[in-house]
Structure 1
Amino acid sequence: MSSKIKIILAEDEPALAQIIKESLETRNFEVFSCKNGEEAFEAFSKEKPELLVLDVMMPKKDGFTLAKEIRKLDKKTPIIFLTAKSQTQDVVDGFQLGGNDYLKKPFSMEELIVRIHALLGRIQLEKNDENISIGNYIFNQTKQTLDYLGNIQFLTHREASLLHLLIENKNDILDRSLVLKKIWGDDDFFNGRSMDVFITKLRKKLSLDPNIQIINVRSQGYKLIT
């Protein structure tokens, strides 16, 4: 098993993309280089990276649009934007869409690497606190358990992954198609029926707390309310 840290790089300038990729790979990163936003989203869904480096101006899907779609599924994976833009509003927009850092071109590779390590270190500290409160439940994704006042239920890996996404998007709509692609790998009809079954199982396991609901938002997805 590879111990390298996975990074998705989305940059449409071939020369710059190659420099970044080679520089990161010499520092024990595994880099998946994409030339547009659509490729980057596919790579994100498949590879489950630990960090994303996104150029803002890209063909097919720009970095801001890509980040917005990713944040519907994943609130925590760090995102660094790369841009030639210098307007303050562009920086503000990037952070509001879920970006964690912003580098203006041209930049040094050492600066990018320092910022990557800083973000990964911060995320690791957050991961050390594995217990998540949801109503009167305590959810531990690593152990795949739900603890309700000492009554412990064990979850399957897929149940735990689905519940984690619901919690990350608590009180917001979790997009059906995006979650199917992330957990099931495809948003076809049969996977959709499978997801419905898992939602029913989670509802049952969360039923001990009447203040928790998973509601169906027609034609969009699901919403965890607590």
Structure 2
Amino acid sequence: MKVKILLAEDDSDFGMILKQYLELEGFEVSWFHNPEDVVSILQTDFHFHIGILDIMMPNIDGFSLAKMILKAKPDFPILFLTAKNQKIDRLTGLKIGADDYIAKPCDPEELILRIKNILKRTLISETITQFKIGNYILDTEKLLLIHPNEKIRLTIREKDLLLYLLKFNHKIIKRDDILDNLWETNDYFTGRSLDVFISRLRKYFQHDDKIKIQSLRGIGFEIDFPEN
């Protein structure tokens, strides 16, 4: 499967160089000079695995474009390109829900590495059945959470919830998003059910104190799954 990248960059020279380099690395790149063109396909022909957005673009800046994309596609991973490399840019991007950022002019090899790291966390593929989570291995095919000290048999709901949390590693995820995406309903009873499942996962991960599923009152959860 070829990874499809959405590239939003209004600089013609930089955009062309970046597109060519990414394609040489085996990615399929759709390059948009005008961010308004991205908005026009959000509900019709949006079939990408990751977005690379320049922050400084005319009409619609990268931050605004990211908000529009994430409103329609909450799980969509985004990497920001910024020419300024200022703290305010980084914080704003992360608060919006971006997965990473890189300053221009960027080293192509570093960009590829960042893209691959994001995809490793977010691209839950049918061909991938095992995921490393700290000292554990999640085997989605056998519904097992494996630790050197024990093997835990998961329910399908527990497996689905764990995969969903993995998509938001090192980020904050809203309760409502989990309920809407996994339970497909959001009321008192499903909320209580979610709390039970979260408690179970915390218990399952008791052998690795670096794994955190922290509750944020009125918001949701902050996820921290170490990759090694």
* TMscore range, shorter length: 0.5 to 0.7
Distance in 2 (CA, whole Å) between partners of 1:206 and 1:71 is 20
Alpha-carbon displacement from aligned partner over 1:133-172 (angstroms, at most 9, x marks no partner): xxxx94998xxxxxxxxxxxxxxxxxxxxxxxx963758x
State the shift of 1:86 in Å: 2.5
Q: Structure 1 residues 4 and 118 mapped into 2: Cα distance closer, same or farther (>3 Å)? A: same
Gaps in structure 1 of 5+ consecutive residues: 132-136, 142-165, 175-202, 214-226
Q: CA deviation at 1:41?
A: 2.7
Relative to structure 1, is the Cα distance of residues 53 and 210 closer, same or farther in structure 2, using a 3 angstrom cutoff?
closer
Match of 1:220 in 2: none
CA shift in 2, pair 1:140/1:70, >3 Å = farther
Q: Which residue of 1 aligns with 2:98?
A: 99
User: Partners of 2:86 and 2:15 in 1: how far apart?
Assistant: 23
The question of 1:80 aligning with 2:58 is answered no
Pairing of 1:185-204 with structure 2 (within 5 A): none
Q: TM-score, normalised by structure 1?
A: 0.56
Count of equivalent residues: 150
Which amino acid in the other structure matches residue 100 of structure 1?
Answer: D
Q: 2:177 matched to 1:168?
A: yes
Question: What is the Cα deviation at residue 10 of structure 1?
Answer: 0.2
Displacement of 1:82 in angstroms is 0.2
Matched residue type, 2:84: K
**TM-score, normalisation: structure 2:** 0.56
The unaligned stretches of length 5 or more in structure 2 are: 130-139, 144-155, 161-174, 192-228
Flag the 1:102–1:210 CA change in 2: closer, same or farther, 3 A: closer
Runs of 4 or more off by more than 6 Å in structure 1? Answer: none
**Structure 1 residue 87: deviation in Å?**
2.0
SS at match of 2:123: helix
- Quote the residue 1:114 is aligned against: 113
Question: Secondary structure of 1:21's match?
Answer: helix
Q: Does 1:27 align with 2:5?
A: no
Could you list the per-position Cα deviations for residues 65-113 of structure 1 after superposition, in whole angstroms to 9, with x for gaps in the alignment?
A: 0111111122222100001123211110010011111111111111111
Secondary structure of 1:99 counterpart: coil
Between stretches 43-52 and 54-63, larger displacement belongs to 43-52
- For 1:58 and 1:7, locate their aligned partners in 2 and report how far apart those are by CA, in whole Å: 18
